[in-house]
Amino acid sequence: MINEVDSFSPFLGIEATSYEAWALTYDFMVGYAMEDMSPAPALAKEWTTSDDGLTWTFDIRDDVTWSDGKPLTARDIAYTYNRVLDGGPEAVTWSSYLKGVTKVTAPDATHVVLTVGKPNAVLPLLPIPIIPEHVWKDVSEKQVKTYPAEPTDGQPVVGSGPFQLAEGTAGGSTYRFVANKNYWAGPPHVDEVVIRVFKNEDTMVQALIKGEIDFAEDISPLQVKALKDEEGITAQNGESPSFDEIAFNSGSVDTETGKPIGDPNPAVLDPKFRHALGYALDLDQIVRKVYQGAALPGDTIIPPAYPDYRWEPGDEAFTFDLEKAGQLLDEAGYKKGSDGLRTMPDGKPIGTLRLAARTDASLDASVNTMEYFKEWLADLGIKAEVQAFESNRLTEIILDGNFDAFQWNWYVEPDPDSMLSNMTCDQRGGWSDSWYCNDRYDALYEQQHNEMDQAAREDQVKEMQRILFEDSPYLVTAYTAIGEAVRTDKFACFQSQPDPGGVWLVQYGGHNYSSVRPASQAGDCDGVESALKPTSAAEDSGASNGFWIGVGAAAVVLIGVGGVVMLRRRATVGERE
């Protein structure tokens, strides 16, 4: 799977590039701070909560219009959320954010009221793009499954964001967005943003060097290192709140009958077996050789970007210790036979574990990780084979339960609730890819979702991570970085998220698309001290940078996106149809 837009509809897409398109086109009711991704005003200026935590009232701006000139009101926001609550295709991606919400109303044009059955700790964060009711009211629930939300008759897509989609179709290689000059937060400093998809990283990097594009996203650490020596280019490995993991089939079942489906190796159904294999991973070597040093060794599903919620294993942390792994396997009954291969506790052969890898992962990280894992399993007396698939095919295999282990990744949102929900029992056959189910974990999930005491909630989230660590449906291998490079002789004022150390694009919201400006006009980047400043070459070149397109007009930003940035969520064919 390459990183093309798979749908411009906020109810259908799953690719990171699709989320970028929505960030350009639409707004959230509540935004995200650049520093730490905490709740920040957006369409809602402020909000209040009733004493019992069951009613949330949002004060909506009265100066916002859709790009076609019609006013955006609280009714559009209520309409968007109610389409999700109605449980149709719109609910697939977004329903977890409205979990427990029983009613959404707009008593007037400037107020949205959310009523919840129980206190909801996730609020006020609702990263659901707000759509225009006057456009979408004519799109039925049946039609929404295929509605493209693309330009028609030469007219850009109607949205309230800083840009409008003017050209491009899902699956295409180039998408052109034109500035929304009436954007409520102020008109963008550039006239257009063009996203161009590259299937070859080297080609994309050469295009950046030649000045054919101005920003390269998802490049390798080696390319970042090389580009740092290029005049007029600034490159980085930006911290991304994501993790890579080896996931096991913890028990695939028919979600209606509860009967087993698929053909998992019986060994991987045992938490003790899975946990023992945590000591058979040399994470330092994986970081060094697979990720070219641009990652941190992993341990739990909440990455270091969110320290308040993160559980630290401490003395319990996995180390690369094949002797200990073997000891734990022995204790669990998986002892070596006369042929040197480990057997099941009943003495039957374990057989060959199938290690599924993705052929379309950046840096070949998926295949390479599994090849190393195969070698270390062999050292333990466990046979394994690596099977490589494209991501779409692997998704089907996972849903059918026909796997033992696979390698993939997740992008973790600022509030951990969504990631935590993926591991609950009722997500089997949906967002759960490991088929994990633990009643104690599920009970804690419900508690933290409704817990309004922040310290108590953090403790509950940490306990959930401890349970996952012990049961090991996932062995978290790495916290990865995203390689980025920008022509700072042409453009400046990108702010990282989180700040400092985070990424310049593929963020929560479209802040940088509004703040980026030609280098010669950067000034002090609106007083944002951490914003990316222009290079000296740019300061000397003035308007000769070649991107000025007329008096009073600004430049065109060309963004190259190569390979697979990552899926911010994983979806299934069944869920989208």
Q: Report the pLDDT value the prediction gives residue 565, as an integer from 0 to 100.
A: 33
Q: Report the pLDDT value the prediction gives residue 221, as an integer from 0 to 100.
A: 93
DSSP assignment of 164-229:
EEEE--TT-SEEEEEE-TT-TT---SSSEEEEEEES-HHHHHHHHHHTS-SEEEEE-HHHHHHHTT
Residue type, 52: D
From residue 248, alpha-carbon distances to 407, 411, 433 in Å are: 9, 19, 9
- For residues 198 and 214, give the distance between their C-alpha atoms in angstroms, rounded to a whole number: 13
Listed residue (518, 507, 505) closest to 216, CA to CA = 505
**CATH number 3.90.340.10 is the correct assignment for the domain at 29-146:** no
Q: Report the pLDDT value the prediction gives residue 537, as an integer from 0 to 100.
A: 53
In eight-state DSSP terms, residue 572 is: -
Q: What is the helix, strand, coil percentage profile of the chain, to 5? A: 30, 25, 45
CA 269 to chain centre: 28
CATH for the stretch 163-240+481-562: 3.40.190.10
> Mean pLDDT for each consecutive 10-residue tract of the chain (577 residues)?
77 86 96 93 97 96 97 98 93 87 97 96 93 96 94 95 95 91 93 87 90 89 93 94 96 95 98 98 98 96 95 96 98 96 97 95 91 98 97 92 96 92 93 96 96 96 98 98 93 94 90 91 93 73 28 42 38 32
Residues 39-76: b if buried by 16+ CB within 10 A, e if exposed? bbebbbeebebeeeebebebbbbeebebbeeeebbbbb
> Is there a shared CATH topology between the 29-146 domain and the 242-480 domain?
no
Q: Sketch the domain layout of the chain as residue ranges.
A: 29-146, 163-240+481-562, 242-480
- For residues 310 and 386, give the distance between their C-alpha atoms in angstroms, rounded to a whole number: 32
From residue 204, alpha-carbon distances to 210, 239, 496, 506 in Å are: 10, 21, 22, 17
Q: Report the pLDDT value the prediction gives residue 349, as an integer from 0 to 100.
A: 97
Helix (H, G, I), strand (E, B) or coil at 493: coil
- For residues 110 and 311, give the distance between their C-alpha atoms in angstroms, rounded to a whole number: 40
Q: Phi/psi of residue 234, each to 5°? A: -115, 130
Residue-level length of the chain: 577
User: Which class is domain 242-480?
Assistant: alpha beta
Q: Report the pLDDT value the prediction gives residue 564, as an integer from 0 to 100.
A: 33
Cis amide bond preceding 124, omega within 30: yes
